[in-house]
Amino acid sequence: MAHPDTLLLIDGEWRPAAAGEWIAVENPATEAVIGRVAHARAADIDAAAEAAARAFPAWAATPAIERAALIRGAARLLRERSDAIAATITAEQGKPLAEAKHEIQIGAGVLDWFSEEAMRLYGRTIPARGPGVLPLTIRQPVGPVAAFAPWNMPINQVVRKVAAALTAGCTLVIKAAEETPAASAEVLRAVADAGVPAGVVNLLYGTPAEISERLIAHPAIRKISFTGSTKVGKQLAALAGTHMKRVTMELGGHAPAIVCADADLDKAATLLGHAKFRNAGQICMAPTRFLIEDSVFEPMVARLVAHAGALKVGDGTEPGVQMGPLANGRRVSELTTLVADALAQGATLRLGGERLGNVGHFFAPTVLADVPTTARIMNEEPFGPVIIANRFSTLSDALAEANRLPYGLASFAFTGSLATAHTLAHGIEAGMLTVNQLGLAVPETPFGGVKESGYGSEGGPEALDPYLVTKFVSLGI
């Protein structure tokens, strides 16, 4: 397919970077350079922030019902353009076309849901302490937002930030991933084409540290939203703190998946296998540490091996492919190192564990068993298609391992006992738990973590709180 150059969007204009610089874009399935993206520098960053500041008063004053209609219009355009956008996602990021189309449909659904929330940004009245007084609160947009989105979900991670900001009445500058620029740009294109005024949404690409340092410090910016690694998130949160700016941080995870002896093993293996290998495991909420009760350990591992071994791996454009490549060669090298370290420390390899082929960043679906907690992969998020299967004897042991790490984003459990589910619901240190199903990341539910997995939510009504200022007004009547 023809892959267009991706431009910056600043003040309603799609344009190259002021300095004329470009970054190459690679297809991870072929390692071929397929395009380029404009490389923003200081002048572009400042121009985008200033455009968002100029557009803010009018957008904040736009009636909620009008904002909602424009956001729904963007959702409609995403759906209408889904075939072309899906092909772009697969070319840049590698996931199979079916997954890419599903991501677009989810993204459109997020826009639709948030558009409805625009009509429910309620304040409240407060009982007065005496006659002739009306105490009340009103909720107002905080101001221009700086948002940073990763490459693994080039539509949905951008959509969540755009939808929340626009719904609340904020303008924004979003720095999207250089690995997947054309895909992410389609979200902004749909918003602009739906009629959102110039300057309300702005899009940058470039050197991540350069953009984040300048944009977060810019006096026009009032709020920060970041999705990415814990290491980078800490740096950006610290920078935002020096300027007293609000932050939402959706960071890394290392999700436990607890499988009890009374669980439906077939259902658990199918659902957890799907969640693990979707997007080649490159999802922050993917199950990673599979904690399986002793008495069903071998039957469950056998099911997981069978599921993983049946996956068709290849170029996402090919019919029947269920898992595409990793995003880049660095991911392949890192996974190779993590698997080798686990094996050296006594883990057993049940499946995979190696790069596939000589062209493209493909890594085999992998199952490791009996991995010691000293192994790096038990402590560092692998972010790839690797299942770590370990045993537990008691529920207390499973909870202790689930909570051992400083991360706490997603968690999974399969059990036939309501009492066990209740214990896990109260005992797991995570922002999200799903039991006997895959019930995470739908638009109306909270999406966020605890501990070093961040703070704030990217979903549900909770996602809007950091974009809004609650102002108290006491009226003498």
CA dihedral 415, 419, 420, 426 (to 10 degrees): 130
Given 170, 260, 284, 452, the catalytic residue: 284
Catalytic entry in 250, 293, 334, 429: 250
State the SS3 of the chain: CCCCCECEEECCEEECCCCCCEEEEECCCCCCEEEEEECECHHHHHHHHHHHHHHHHHHHHCCHHHHHHHHHHHHHHHHHCHHHHHHHHHHHHCCCHHHHHHHHHHHHHHHHHHHHHHHHCCCEECCCCCCCEEEEEEEEECCCEEEECCCCCCCHHHHHHHHHHHHHCCCEEEECCCCCHHHHHHHHHHHHHCCCCCCCEEEECECHHHHHHHHHHCCCCCEEEEECCHHHHHHHHHHHHHCCCEEEEECCCCEEEEECCCCCHHHHHHHHHHHHHHHHHCCCCCEEEEEEEHHHHHHHHHHHHHHHHCCCECCCCCCCCCECCCCCHHHHHHHHHHHHHHHHCCCEEEECCCEECCCCCEECCEEEECCCCCCHHHCCCCCCCEEEEEEECCHHHHHHHHCCCCEECCCEEECCCHHHHHHHHHHCCCCCCEECCCCCCCCCCCCCCEECCEECCCCCHHHHHHHEEEEEEEEEC
Would you call 284 a catalytic residue per the annotation?
yes
The encoded tokens of residue 136 equal: 């009340």
**260 an active-site residue?**
no
Catalogue the active-site residues. 250, 284
